[in-house]
Chains A and B, each alone.
Chain A
Amino acid sequence: MAFFLQSAWLIPVLPLLGCALITFTPLRRNKAASGWTAILLMILATLLAVGLLAATAQGLALRDGQLVTLATGHGEAASHGEAKDHAFSFPEPNVVQRINWAPTGSSLLQLGFYIDTPVAAMLAMVTLTSTCIHLFSLGYMAANPRQSRFFSFISLFTAAMLLMSMADSLLLFFMAWEVMGLCSYLLIGFLYERPQAYRAAIKAFIVTRIGDVLMLLGMVYLYTQAGSLAFGTAAGEIFHPAFLERIGTEGGLLGLSHATGIALLLFGGTIGKSAQFPLHVWLPDAMEGPTPVSALIHAATMVAAGVFLVARTFPIFVADSGAALAVVAFIGAFTALFAATIAVAQYDIKRILAYSTLSQLGFMVAALGIGGWMAAMFHLLTHACFKALLFLGSGSVIHAMEATPVIERLHHKDEYAAQQTAQDIRNMGGLRTRLPWTFWTYTAGYLALAGVVPFAGFWSKDEILADAFKGGHWVVFTVLTVAAFLTAFYMTRQWRLVFFGDYRGERPVVFKNPEASLAPDRHEDGHGHESHGAHGHQNTGAHWHEDPVMIASLVVLAAFAVTGGLFNLPFALPGGHWFASIWGQEALPFSPLVAGISLLVALGGIAAGWTLYGGAFARAADRDPLEARAPAVFQLLNEKYRIDELYQASFVRLTALLALVWAFIDDVILNGIINGIGRVTLFLGRLNFIVDDTLFNDGPDALAGGTVTTGKGARRLQTGKAQDYIGYVFGGAVVLALLYLYVIGR
């Protein structure tokens, strides 16, 4: 067991090694070899992470290289029922290793690893889902000529997420966080010939960076106050009780306490990274990346990072009077509902999942906002599993759709339109029998997301609702309940339209590509194929195919989607409240009332979706039943409240305008002044010459004459030939050297 604690540092290093091997060695020329290298290293990392979780769960820890067992904090806190309003504490860390990273005046800045039980759980989740995603990509990306590069990027992405999870301080956390931003840019724009892809990539990077700079300010604010950014409760570390007490009471700017200011700035990072309103706009566009990327971004990494940030710095959020948490709760609850309503009116299978991710992240953020740290972390972990499952399942569906003759024909004309058409749920239907493995695993993910007992999502979502209920946060409770209803509804809509009814893809709704003229069809040269023609069956009937490695990863994830709730069952059974006990948190007692409401809401949503879409879409081109009932509302939701358009018309335009303004200031005003001064000087010189020449003849003239002569002489020196100048320089250097010798000689 000590082995797992000692080798914890290997967990992010292994995928990083994978990235390096694939990028810099000849491995990159072999798609299969590079893929398997990445996968094997990921499997190793997964084993280490699971071992680490097991070791830390037993309370094992390293102190000065010695194995010790943590006596307190484990299991004990769970039995304490009394609620201390502001008290929140992490369990004792199991492994802390730091090195001196940079000198900062009289002090030193250290960086390293800090692993406690919640971190160990994160590491296990990230490695597990990421391994499945790696495996899936082996099949899904097989036809892409850049598959090796794909593996190197997703390995780097995973390494960054792992490093972030086990960072010992906010600085290293932020560094890994930004590397993830880079990876998301690279992966969303992976099919970089497409304007949509690189635009989405830049959008993702810039929008998240807006949040990141707020987080950076929060960090420097915190660093200035605390003198360090290290996690931990010792003096000088950021969770030191006396320090938290101080920043919670002392005033900063605008009448906010330091803690509020720091927490809100840090939360800016969460808003960007976890795509909360109003910086949510990048996440749906991130669907331009290949589907495994969507799974990675939406489940294991990136968006989870934002929630984890709040979870990791939670003592700061609770250090103030509650102002920061109120904002967190508001943003989270609003996003949960807002995104759920948009998801109702989308047709793209991945986009529906994308908005569902936004909504679920809203659940987690709201949970943190009402103080439900435990519930948020639990939901983060279960959601990662079933959302990865759903995305990979949708990938399997899209993969199969793209191999249909209709789409293949379209593919030869317009690759992008073909892909979009293949992702449109109106063009699917009846896939239950055609893709049975995908159907059953997808169903597990769907039921988990919809919140049906006993699937994973039920338990974790229920815990969030129970927290809101118990804490008396009625607004949050109501909003989340409505969002939960909508979740069950839109997921049923999707599930029903994809897997039931008759197959409608023979006469699909074809996506009209506005960029068709900009993106010339380049499929002949083998570039830009996401998944084209992996199994180029042309005859109908035989083309429905599920890839074995893809199925394997779906099955693994489905197992967790079904059983994920076991990790923290809300009963006082042996094994119940397992996360709560190893994380040293108070265990929430089971509330049959809330569980009942939650289940009822989920079943209600399912029933509504099932009946409403029962007879809908006999043909792909039919109207959506909701659209038929409320066309204006549906249109607004379908266009995502037109927030992208709003930003386009305001911020994007403003930025372009400001660039013009600054260019004008430089090119016209400042350069005008400089050139003006130059002209005036020349003019004065000429004037001076005239005055000298006509009015004075003696002294001044001689002076001027001298100047002119010198100038002429100098001009004669200025031949414009560089050789001559070098000659002068030499002359000067020689003279200087002689002088030097002379002086030394004295």
Chain B
Amino acid sequence: MELPPYLMASPDGVPWLTLLVLSPLVGILLVGLAAWLRLDDRMVRLGVTAWTGVPIAIAAVIWTRFDPAATAAGQGVVQLVEKVPWIQAVRVDYFLGVDGLSMPLVLLTAVMAPVAALASWRLTDRVKPHYALLLLLEAAMLGFFVALDFFFFFIFWEFSLVPAFFLIQSWGRENRRYAAFKFFVYTMAGSIGLLLLFQVIYLAMRQVGLPTFNLIELGRLGRGLPVEGATGTLRAIIFAYMEQLGVANVLGRYPLLYTSIAFWAIFIAFAIKLAVWPFHTWLPDAYAEAPVAGSILLSAVMSKMGAYGMLRIMLPLVPDASQYFAPVMGALALVGIVAGAFGALANVGGDLKRLIAYTSINHMGYVMLGIAAAAALPGGATLDSRAIALNGVMVQLVAHGLSTGALFFLAGALHARTGSWSLADFGGLRVVAPTFAGVMGTALFANLGLPGLAGFVGEFFIFRGAWATLALFTALATIGLVITALALLLMFQRIFLGPLNDRWDTLADLRPGEFWTVLPLLALLLLIGVYPAPLMNLANATATQLVAVFQQVLS
């Protein structure tokens, strides 16, 4: 198949992305084999943890094959493309590829999987299915980040819910059924609009002779970039279809109206996943009730799917409505930042995992703010400001994944020692567990955005980018910086400082295995915090091309 200049096949012809998505699935086969052979659970643990190295290795290969600076025809070049016609009747292609938006998240997913596997190390209950589900979740998330045809994109999106649901429901805490159900139904219900929207878009595209679910082509049309076989913008195409259906006669002849409807269908689906206020209430329940491995994958990777969806679909397909509603997104982001921070503060005497969950809502608020800022008017903002906002978003996604993953892992290690999640039960543990305190402190300071660690880089660039377009929201969002810091420091104090609670006189310090699990995450946080260029280079070119469209007034 002849590829347009903005798509580039794998240089060596190897379908690396397919291998990447399949590799965890092969791992599941191996688990099945182990079950069939009645192998010991320990073997499964070890095997799966080792096997998570395979996706990491493949992701590393993809990274080396990926040229982040490549741009063509107004967008970052999508690379290692595999594009095979699949369901001809509805023009569905098996279409995988990576660009600057997906590459960092692919790497993040691959890196977090072994952490999740190691977090389940002490599990004794139904070990094999647990590990199989972890691998399945990894495969679904990897697939989601590399799928570029809506059909597959959506399948991976929905499919990721299944293992997550069962992980929460089967290995979670007391309130797991409610949490799992809420999580599942909420996300599912939110994406109905997205599904319907793409039916409409498909039909509209059919009217202009290019029926497609190809997200790259649709994104190009949305931004008014040329696509072979189609003319006009997606907005015009949708509007023409609405006129043809007669809808425009009823609802009004405003093209923006229809892109706005599309915008809200997309936004709600992804905002739920990203836990944007007020769609966030599933998150504290899900994160808190899930088993530790589930919390890690949910917080570190799954919530990033929402942000990625916005970058992949919302901004390029409906830039005009995104720009129009950017202040609304910014306002929701701000409320989420504040709500997450105070929500965390409200939990300093309560549940450790809920507290971390609320800080996640706060951090995803910054992500939302960055995305809103990249899209927002006014024209005074430079292109660089918008690109900086998105660069900040990408760093924030990775940094939050690493630091929250580490925090959840350590929370789990603490629970394994004490049997408690309640912050009221601890105190003074630094005396008996100094290494634990040091490691958790580092993860915590990375989380609250201490310079020198990755979180700061993300937050700084988001604030820098957002100031240019949404200055007031940016200024108010700093409340979150102070309150989250307060909540996290109080959390640290409740666990580690003060006089030692006599119950934990003999508490074990961090074991070498636990230490070496967290250390790579902390090392990455430090590395990105001190020198973020390697990570930011991945996304910079693609992000810059993506936001160019917002330099004009679109509606």
Contact = CB atoms under 8 A, between A and B. Distances in A.
A103 B464 contact: no
B378 interface: no
A101 B388 contact: no
Contacts of B384: 104-107, 227
A185 B456 CA distance: 18
Given A103-B533, A662-B338, A655 B486 contact: yes
A206 B483 CA distance: 8
Interface string B16-50: 00000000010011001001000000000000000
A182 B450 contact: yes
B503 interface: no
A522 B499 CA distance: 8
Given A182-B445, A192-B430, A670-B278, A522 B500 contact: yes
A726 B481 contact: no
A223 interface: yes
A520 B499 contact: yes
Interface string B76-90: 000000001110000
B536 A102 contact: yes
A658 B84 CA distance: 54
Contact of A217 (B29, B182, B430, B463): B463
B486 A206 contact: yes
Contacts of B60: none
Interface in B493-537: 493, 496-500, 531-533, 536-537
B452 A175 contact: yes
A726 B485 contact: no
Contacts of B475: 217
Contacts of B185: 678
A639 interface: no
B463 A674 contact: no
B345 A655 contact: yes
B25 A733 contact: yes
Range class of the B interface residue count:
35 or more
A33 B482 CA distance: 39
A726 B28 contact: yes
Contact of B456 (A178, A214, A725): A178
Interface string B446-490: 000011100011001101100110010011001001110110011
B169 to A, nearest CB: 9
Given A104-B388, A105-B388, A518-B499, A661 B342 contact: yes
A663 B339 CA distance: 8
Contacts of A662: 338-339, 342-343, 346
A237 B286 CA distance: 48
Contact of B428 (A193, A658, A670): A193
Given A210-B482, A220-B463, A726 B129 contact: yes
Interface string B528-553: 00011100110010011000000000
Given A182-B445, A666-B281, A725-B162, A189 B497 contact: yes
Contact of B126 (A104, A193, A722): A722
A179 B497 CA distance: 20
B498 A726 contact: no
Nearest to A198: B497
Nearest to A206: B486
Nearest to B129: A722
A633 interface: no
B10 interface: no
Interface string A733-746: 10000011001100
B490 A729 contact: no
B456 A175 contact: yes
B297 interface: no
Contacts of B418: none
Contacts of A227: 382, 384
Contacts of A656: 345
- Of the listed residues A179, A221, A666, A743, the one surrounded by the most CB atoms of chain B closer than 10 A to its CB is A666
B537 A103 contact: yes
Given A663-B346, A674-B182, A206 B136 contact: no
Given A105-B383, A216-B460, A726 B133 contact: yes
Contacts of A176: 451
Interface in A189-227: 189, 192-195, 198, 202, 205-206, 209-210, 213-214, 216-217, 219-221, 223-224, 227
Contact of A659 (B136, B346, B482): B346
Nearest to A205: B489
Contacts of B468: 224
B383 A202 contact: no
A431 to B, nearest CB: 33
A482 interface: no
Given A104-B387, A659-B345, A729-B162, A527 B431 contact: yes
A671 interface: yes
B422 interface: no
Given A659-B342, A661-B342, A174 B489 contact: no
Contacts of B129: 721-723, 726
B85 A743 contact: yes
Interface of B: 25, 28-29, 32, 35, 84-86, 94, 126, 128-130, 132-133, 136, 162, 166, 170, 182, 185-186, 278, 280-282, 284, 338-339, 342-343, 345-347, 382-388, 391, 428, 430-431, 445, 450-452, 456-457, 460-461, 463-464, 467-468, 471, 474-475, 478, 481-483, 485-486, 489-490, 493, 496-500, 531-533, 536-537, 540, 543-544
20 contacts: A101-B532, A102-B461, A103-B540, A104-B384, A104-B387, A177-B451, A178-B451, A179-B451, A182-B450, A192-B430, A192-B496, A202-B490, A205-B489, A213-B478, A213-B482, A656-B345, A725-B162, A730-B29, A743-B94, A744-B84
Interface of A: 100-107, 171, 174-179, 182, 185, 189, 192-195, 198, 202, 205-206, 209-210, 213-214, 216-217, 219-221, 223-224, 227, 253, 518-520, 522, 527, 655-656, 658-663, 665-666, 670-671, 674, 678, 721-723, 725-726, 729-730, 733, 739-740, 743-744
Q: Nearest 7 A-B pairs (CB), nearest first?
A: A105-B387, A175-B451, A722-B129, A105-B384, A213-B478, A662-B342, A663-B346
